[in-house]
């Protein structure tokens, strides 16, 4: 079952604000085809605007690429270079939703992801983790979301060949989000 109006959602209409201290933007990519390197971005913002219908509900996000952290400063410096992210030309990764569908706890969020000046449509599988009041009298909602992108499709195509058919860095990048939003203030 899919819904079209937002009255079935457990969250009120309005602009929900991201709580960055209880949220995360993380990624995983294969190294040498043997293990996964994990990283995160420390500086990001997002907004959830809940309208009367799913067509008028949207998500936007911006991630500062310079805030990348893979727990290795030398690798992080290389990732900030033009081999990967051209920070001088495009310091941010952005996302703007184009469609939302689903029901209950399982949703799909489709939108335009822009990295290095290249924009592609991506779809996130989204889990609505629930809602809760907080100790300060506010109300919150939490989501987990995942997608896999091809870094080469976004112009991140640095390659070091390895043997006959391998590469040092995998092309597929798994993106995982943990997002907590605070309800709009009520009068």
DSSP string for 108-138: EEEEEEEETTEEEEEEEEEEEEEEEE-TTS-
Q: Is residue 1 a part of any domain in this protein?
A: no
| Rounded Cα gap, residues 122 and 146, in angstroms | 10
Q: In this structure, is the dihedral angle defined by the CA atoms of residues 17, 147, 93 and 5, taken in order, positive or negative? A: negative
pLDDT, mean over the chain: 86
Dihedrals phi, psi of 160, to nearest 5 degrees: -125, 110
Task: Report if residue 177 sits inside a domain.
Answer: yes
Question: pTM for the complete prediction?
Answer: 0.87
Asked if residue 111 belongs to a domain, the reply is: yes
Predicted pLDDT of residue 155 = 78
pLDDT at 157 (0 to 100)? 72
pLDDT in tens, 60-106: 999 999 999 999 899 888 888 887 888 888 899 999 999 998 877 78
What is the arithmetic mean of pLDDT over 32-55?
89
pLDDT value of position 144: 96
**How many domains does the chain contain in total?**
1
Q: Within a domain: residue 187?
A: no
For residue 50, give its domain range. 6-182
In this structure, is residue 125 part of a structural domain? Answer: yes
For residue 154, pLDDT beyond 90: no
**pLDDT per position as a tens digit, 155-173:** 777 665 555 455 567 778 8
**pLDDT at residue 187 is higher than 60:** no
Give the CATH number of the domain where residue 16 resides: 2.40.128.110
- Specify if 174 maps to a domain: yes
* Rg, the chain, Cα only: 18
110: its two tokens: 């489709």
pLDDT at 1: 40
């Amino acid at each position: 079952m899919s819904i079209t109006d937002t009255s079935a959602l457990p969250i009120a209409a309005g602009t929900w604000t991201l709580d960055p201290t209880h949220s995360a933007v993380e990624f995983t990519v294969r190294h040498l085809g043997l293990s996964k390197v994990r990283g995160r971005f420390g500086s990001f913002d997002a907004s959830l605007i809940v309208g009367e219908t799913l067509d008028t509900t949207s998500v936007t996000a911006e991630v500062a690429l310079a805030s990348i952290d893979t727990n290795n400063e030398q690798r992080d410096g290389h990732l900030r270079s033009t081999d990967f992210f051209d920070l001088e030309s495009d310091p941010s990764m952005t996302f703007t939703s184009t469609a939302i569908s689903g029901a209950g706890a399982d949703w799909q969020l489709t939108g335009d992801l822009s990295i290095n000046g290249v924009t592609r449509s991506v779809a996130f599988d989204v889990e609505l983790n629930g809602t809760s009041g907080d100790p300060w009298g506010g109300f919150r909602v939490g989501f987990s979301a995942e997608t896999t992108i091809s870094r080469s499709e976004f112009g991140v195509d640095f390659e070091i060949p390895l043997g006959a058919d391998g590469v040092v860095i995998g092309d597929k990048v798994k993106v995982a989000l943990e997002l907590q939003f605070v309800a709009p203030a009520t009068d």
